[in-house]
Amino acid sequence: MAQTRFAPDRGLTSRMVTTMFFIGLLYVVVVGVLVVLLKGAWVVVLVIAGALFVAQFWFSDRIAAFSMGAREVTPEQAPELHGAVDRLCALADMPKPRVAIAESDVPNAFATGRGQKNSLVCATTGLLRRLEPAELEGVLAHELSHVAHRDVAVMTIASFLGVLAGIITRAALWSGIGRNNRDQNAAIAVLIVTAVSVVVYAISFLLTRLLSRYRELSADRAAALLTGRPSALAAALTKVTGQMARIPTEDLRKAQPFNAFYFAPAFNKESFSRLLSSHPTLEQRLDQLARIATELGRA
């Protein structure tokens, strides 16, 4: 990973490695089970699984950007947004990513890309309209730290491996395994495939959620230390979270599938289990920023 001035986070790195290892292991197990069960089509299983994984890795940034409505803009089209990104990239000593805007009243931002050279940072029109310049720079610094730490790529791949495992197992079931009830071996095969699928979904979901919550705290800390203004990021967090309640439910539901990539979740109800949440609570994020402000004040 290219070095930047963003504060390194060994805890984030170890969590990314652990998540990728276990989800990759689960993926291999699922493909192995299918290869054993589909003896006559094992080559097809491997080719399809490999092709889907490669396609997702190389085109993940474009898929995510398109899905979230990102439209790349030039410095002439969005001078203030480009100016903020330019300043932060110079401060962080990192390559400038592509800059995009998403036409949405939901105040949010996200980053995509496999690495620093092919990354994209996007802000919604709702975010640009509501934040002050210092607050916007705090949010953009948060997103750029995701790019610098490469946790965006890890989250994309980790999420995809769990989904792909489910797709493959469902395809095996649809192909007719076990339709002959008299075939006891086929019936057992169906149970094995179903059980493995459930386990993969459950473990991959929990692992990605754990990583997602930690990486958000890591990005907040890195952004606050880089800009030296944790209060601006705290103000942006408070403002964005407060504004979510005023957004139509229909718009929030459209954004909800991409919560793991957003600066703040579209839905953040208190009743929602912390174990299943993609983000830490607002209180946790603000408490961390307050501690950083105290540390910077002492320094």
| Alpha carbons 223 and 152: distance in angstroms, whole number | 15
Tokens of 30: 């699922």
Structural contact between residues 120 and 81, judged by C-beta atoms closer than 8 angstroms: no
Phi, psi of 112 (to 5 degrees): -135, 170
| Alpha carbons 261 and 242: distance in angstroms, whole number | 19
Structural contact between residues 255 and 105, judged by C-beta atoms closer than 8 angstroms: no
Tokens of 291: 């501690």
* Residue found by looking up tokens 């504004």 in the block: 243
Structural contact between residues 123 and 102, judged by C-beta atoms closer than 8 angstroms: yes
Q: Residue 143 is which amino acid?
A: E
Cβ count within 10 A of residue 21: 11
Q: Residue 26 is which amino acid?
A: L
Q: Residue 34 is which amino acid?
A: L
Annotated binding site: 142, 146, 216
Tokens of 86: 């330019």
Distances from the Cα of 190 to the Cαs of 48, 78, 158, in angstroms? Answer: 20, 54, 25
* Residue tagged active-site, from 80, 103, 143, 283: 143
Tell me whether residue 72 is one of the annotated catalytic residues: no
**Tally of CA atoms within 13 A in the half-sphere of 95 that contains its CB:** 12
| Alpha carbons 151 and 15: distance in angstroms, whole number | 10
Residues catalogued as catalytic: 143
